[in-house]
Structure 1
Amino acid sequence: MKRIEKFIQKYHMLTCGDRVIAGVSGGADSVCLFLMLLELRKKIGFDLIAVHVHHGLRGEAADQDQQFVEALCEQHRIPLEIFRVNLESIAKKRKQSLEEAGRMVRREAFDSVCQKYGGNKIALAHHQNDNAETLLWNLSRGTGLDGLGGIRPVNGKFIRPLLCMNRKEIEEYLAKRKQSYCIDETNAETDYTRNKLRHLVLPILEEQVNSAVVRHMNETMEQIWELQEYMQEQVEAAYQECVQEHFEKACWIQIQQKSFETFPELIKKMVIRKGMEQVGGKKRDLSHKHVDVMMELMNKQVGRTLDLPYEMHAKRNYEGIRLEKQRTYSFGEEKKAEIMQECMSELNIPGETILADRNLKLRCKILEKPKNLSIKDIPQKIYTKWFDYGIIKSSLYIRTRQAGDTIVIDEKGHQKKLKNWFVDEKIPKEVRDSQLLLAENNEILWVLGHRMSQAYQVKQSTKWILQIEVETYKSDGGKENGRNNS
C-alpha cells in the first residue's frame, strides 16, 4: 500500500477535494483498484463513484459480473452507475473491432458520469503486465518515442494508480484480504493478439529470459516518460522558433528552413510531426514514413509538392515548407468545390474536438434512441443538438461557408442555398464568412447558434442519436459552460 501511495504522490494523481470516477468490471484488477481507493479516500479526502459497463457479450456471466459489482458497491456504500450496451451492434455500426468499440463505449460512460457528478479524475486499473503487453504490441507494429513509453500513469483526467504493481501482486493483495472477484473466461483465450502476448509471449520471456522481465520493462518505460517530458519541452521551443501558424482565417503552417536547420535531426523530425498533427487534427495514421518524406521535401527544389493523410498538402517554397489542409467535395457531377482558405476541423465522433482559435470545445456522443422518445425529450438548447446518426454517411467537419453549401429547410426535403438562407434570416454580412457550420460534404447539418437541417432531425425511424454539445473552452485548461446553458 505504501508503494501505491508513493506512486500516486510522485505523479500527483489525487488531491483533497477530487471527485474520482473508477471503472469497476469486477475482475481482479478493478476490484484491487476499488479497494485501494477506498483505503485512500479518507486519508486523502476525495469522493469516489464507481462505473460498470455491461457489454452484452457474455450472457449470464456478464450479468453475474454486474451483480457482483452492485453488491460490492452496496457493501461499501459507494455510488454506482451501470451502463448496459449491445457492443456487437455498436461495433458494427461504427465499423470498429469489438475491442476498439468497447474502449470507446467505456470512455463515453466515464465522460457521462463525470458530467453528472462533476468528476475530475477517472481511475483505471491498468497494471505493469498491461504495460509490458502494450510495449511489446507497439514494438511489434512499429512505434516512435511515444509508443516506447507504453501507458502513461497520468493522461489528462485519466489516472492509473496500479502501474506500480504486477498481476501477481494484485492477486496476492486480494488473497490476503480474502476478497473474491470475477473471472472473465475470454481473457484466457488466445484468439486475440493481445491475449497471445499475455499468455504465450510474456510467459516465455519470464521463464526463459528473466523472471523479472515485466518489472524491468516498466522501469525502462518510466525512464522513457522522463525523457518524453524533456523532449516535449525542447520540441515546443523549437516549434515556436521555426514554425508560423495560420489558423485564424486559414489552416496552414510555414516551416522556416533557416531556423529549422539549426536543430538536431531528432528535434526536426518531432517538429514536423507536431506540425502535421496540428494541421491534420489527428495523430493516428501519421507514421515515421510521412515524417521522412517531409524531411526529404525540405531538401528538394522549390515547387515540389507532397500529399499526406487527412487531406494535407505540403509544398516546398523559398522559405521552407508550407503545410496546409485542403479537401475536395463531390456534389452534382463530381465537380470540385471552391475551397475557401478557412480552417476545417474534423469532428471526433465520439469524443471531443477543440477549436482553439474560437475558444470552443465540441463534445460528441453516440446514444441509443429511447423506445418511447417524445419530442419534449429532445434537447431544445441552442448549443446542444441531436442528429439522426444513421443517415450520416461520411466525416463531419466544423468549418465556415464554401461555394455550393445548401441546407434542407422543411420536412419535404426542399433545399436552400446557404447564402440565400443567410439573406432570408438577416444574418449580418460581416459575420457570414466567419459563421461556424457543421457540414457533411456540402450539406449543412447545423448553423451553430441558429437552425439545424430538417433532413438530420431525430425521427421515429432513428436508431442511433449523435449528440453534440458546444462549450466555451479556455486554453489554460478550464472551461466555461455559457455556450450550452441557453
Structure 2
Amino acid sequence: MKSLTFYSFYKKISEFLSTEKRLLIAISGGMDSMTLLHLALGLRPNHKLFGVHVNHGLRSKSKSEQKFVERLCINYNIPLFVKKINTHFHQKESVEMWARRLRYNAFSEAKKEFDCDYVMTAHHANDSVETIIMRLDDGCGIEGLRGIPKNNGVFIRPILTYKKSAIKDYIHKNKIDFIVDETNKDTSIKRNFVREKILKPWEEQSDDLIDRFINLSNKATDSINYMDIIISSISNDIKTSSDKFIIPDNLTKLLLPSQFVRLIKELLNETQISWRRHRWESLIKWKHSAKTGSTYKINKYWTILRDRKHFILNNSITMPVDIKIQKEGVYSFNDSYLSMYKTDRMDKNNDPMLEVIDWNSVSKKDLKLRTWKKGDRFKPLGMKNYKKVSDFLIDKKMDRFSKDNQLVLTADNEIVWVCGQRISEMVKITNKTSNFLKLSLSHSYK
C-alpha cells in the first residue's frame, strides 16, 4: 500500500506552488479533511492557509462539529469562513446533490472572501471509486469512468491517489483528533450504500480492487484525451460565434456517436460534466432520426437544429434587437455591430453584409435596427411589388435560428434593408444619386 507522508503530499501539490499561494482548505472535521489540514500545515510559512467549514444543519451534532473546527482553526491561527446552510432543499434534488451544490457555492464564497488562489479538498481514491460505481449505476458513458479529477480549475485534490487505508494509517500514526460522522453508516444515502454494501465487501475479496478501478479510470482518461485530440483537429471546420456553432455534415459523418456527443460537450464547455445515460442516448437517437428543421433542446440555454447540410447549435436565449439609429457611427448589440457612414462614392463589393444606399432617400427619416416580426414586408431590389419578409426568408432557405434572429433596417417604419440579404428598391443607387450611405453589419465570429 502506498503510504501517505508530507513528502509524497508535497510532490503531488508542488506544481501549483511555484510562488507564494493563498490556499483555502475545506475542513469538515472528519478523518479525511483533518489529514489534509495536518499535511497542509507543513506548507507554512511559504504559503498562507485559510479554512472553510460548511454547516449543513442536517445532524444533531452539526453545531458541535462547527465548534470543533472553529477551535481547531484558532489553535492553528487559520482564518476560518463558516457557512451555515438553510436545510430547505429542492424536491427534485437528492440531499447529497443539494449538499454538494451548496457546499461548493460556499467554497467559492470563501475563496473570494480570502482572495485565495486554490481550494483544496480531501477526496481520496476510495471516493473516486465510489463515484465511478454510482455513475455506472446511472448508465454513464466512458466519461463517467474517469472518477473524480485530480484538479478542476481552482479546485485541487492532493490526496486523491491515496486509499482510505493510507489516510487511516496517517491519522493514527500522527494521533490526530477527528469527528466521526454517524450518518456515513446510513445506507439509505446512495454513496453510503455503495461504500458499505458494495465496495467494502468487494475489497475483502480483492485486495487490489481500488488500484484496479484507478487503473481503469486512468485508461478512460487516456481514451478521452485521445478523443479530445480528434475533436480538436476537426474543430477548425466548425464556424463559430458567441451564440452559434455550425457543424457540417461531412464532419459529423466521420464521428462515432460518442465522439459526436463529446464534440457537443466540447462546444458547450461541458467536458468536465458527466452526462447521465438518458441525456446522451436521447441526443444520439435524435441525431439519427432528425429531419430538416427538427430541433433538440440540450439544456435551458442551447438548442441543436438539423438543417439541410449542417447541424446548428444555437444559444436559445437571444435578446431581440430594437435600436434607434440617430446619427452616423457604430452601434453594438448582442456581440454584433452595425456601422453607418455617409460617403461620396460607391465602391463595388460582393459582401452581403455591406451595402451602399441612396443617402437622400433616408436622410430625413427616423432609422431603426430591429428584429423582423410577423407581417413585415418590403419591396426587394429589382422587384415592383412588395413581398412578405417571411416568404423572402423561406425563398432564401435560411435555417430556423437565422430566420428567428434576422434583422431589418427601417426608415420611418419602412424596411430599407433585410440585413445581409437585400436592400429595398426604394433606396437603390440611381443616376441621380449624389450622396451615398454605407451600411455594414458584422458579427463576432472567431
TM bucket (normalised to shorter chain) is 0.5 to 0.7
What is the Cα deviation at residue 36 of structure 1? 0.7
Match of 2:181 in 1: 184
User: Which segments of 5 or more consecutive residues in structure 2 lack a partner in the other structure?
Assistant: 323-333, 337-369, 374-406, 408-446
Distance 2:172 2:265 in 1: 47
Q: For residue 128 of structure 1, report the CA deviation from its aligned partner.
A: 0.8
Query: Superposed, which structure 2 residues align to 1:284-433 within 5 Å?
Result: 287-297=279-289, 303=292, 305-310=294-299, 313-326=303-316, 340=320
Normalising by structure 2, what TM-score?
A: 0.64
- Secondary structure at the counterpart of residue 163 of structure 1: coil
- Matched position secondary structure for 1:65: helix
Give 1:357 shift. 5.8
Q: CA deviation at 1:283?
A: 7.3
Q: Distance in 2 between matches of 1:147 and 1:341?
A: 41
Measured after TM superposition, the shift of residue 95 of structure 1 is: 5.4
Alignment correspondent of 1:3: 8
Separation in 2, partners of 1:82, 1:339:
39
Is the aligned partner of 1:228 residue 2:224?
Answer: yes
Q: Partner of 1:161: helix, strand, or coil?
A: coil
1:235 is matched by which residue type in structure 2? I
Change (3 A) 1:166 1:357: farther
Alignment partner, residue 247 of structure 2 = 255
Q: CA deviation at 1:142?
A: 1.1
Rounded to whole Å, the distance in 2 between the matches of 1:310 and 1:245 is: 19
Aligned to 2:113: 116
- Is the contact made by 2:298 and 2:304 (CA closer than 8 Å) also made in structure 1? no
CA distance in 1, matches of 2:74, 2:264: 52
Instruction: Note the C-alpha offset of 1:316.
Output: 3.3
Aligned to 2:42: 39
1:150 aligns with 2:147: yes
Any unmatched runs of 5+ in structure 1? 328-337, 343-355, 359-399, 404-432, 434-486
Instruction: Give 1:386's aligned residue.
Output: none
Match of 1:36, SS? Answer: helix
Matching residue of 1:66: 66
Aligned partner of residue 287 in structure 1, secondary structure: helix
Q: Does 1:102 align with 2:103?
A: no
Spell out, residue by residue over 1:72-116, the C-alpha distance to the aligned partner (whole angstroms, 9 max, x if none).
222222111222222x22x14x85332222212222221122112
Q: CA deviation digits over 1:47-85, x for unaligned, max 9?
A: 1101111122222x2222122212222222211122222
Give the distance between the partners of 1:288 and 1:185, measured in 2 at CA: 37
Aligned counterparts of 1:313 and 1:129: Cα–Cα separation in 2: 37
Contact 2:54 2:82 (C-alpha < 8 Å) held by counterparts: yes
Deviation at 1:179, TM superposition (A): 1.1
CA distance in 2, matches of 1:160, 1:78: 20
Instruction: Report deviation, 1:402.
Output: 11
CA distance in 2, matches of 1:124, 1:99: 17
Deviates more, 1:181-190 or 1:284-293: 284-293
Counterpart contact for 1:126–1:160, Cα < 8 Å: yes
Could you say what secondary structure the match of 2:259 adopts?
A: helix
SS of the residue corresponding to residue 160 of structure 2 reads helix
Q: Deviations over 1:121-165 (max 9, x none)?
A: 000111111111001001111112321101001000000111121
| In structure 2, distance between residues paired with 1:224 and 1:178 | 37
TM-score w.r.t. structure 1 length? 0.59
What corresponds to 1:244 in structure 2? 239
1:128-207 alignment, distance < 5 Å? 128-207=125-204
Deviations 1:305-343 (A, max 9, x none): 23333365544333222233447xxxxxxxxxx98499x
Higher relative contact order (CA 8 A, sep 6+): 2
1:6 partner letter: K
SS in 1 for 2:50: strand
* Structure 1 position 233, deviation (Å): 3.1
Distance 1:313 1:68, change over 3 A: closer
Instruction: Please tell me the residue identity of whatever aligns with 1:19.
Output: R
Identity within the alignment, %? 26
Alpha-carbon distance in structure 1 between the residues aligned to 2:138 and 2:35? 31
Q: 1: CA distance between counterparts of 2:75 and 2:62? A: 20
CA shift, 1:117, in A, is: 1.6
Q: Indicate yes or no: 2:68 matched with 1:85.
A: no
Count of matched residue pairs:
321
In the alignment, is the contact (CA less than 8 A) between 1:272 and 1:291 conserved in 2? no
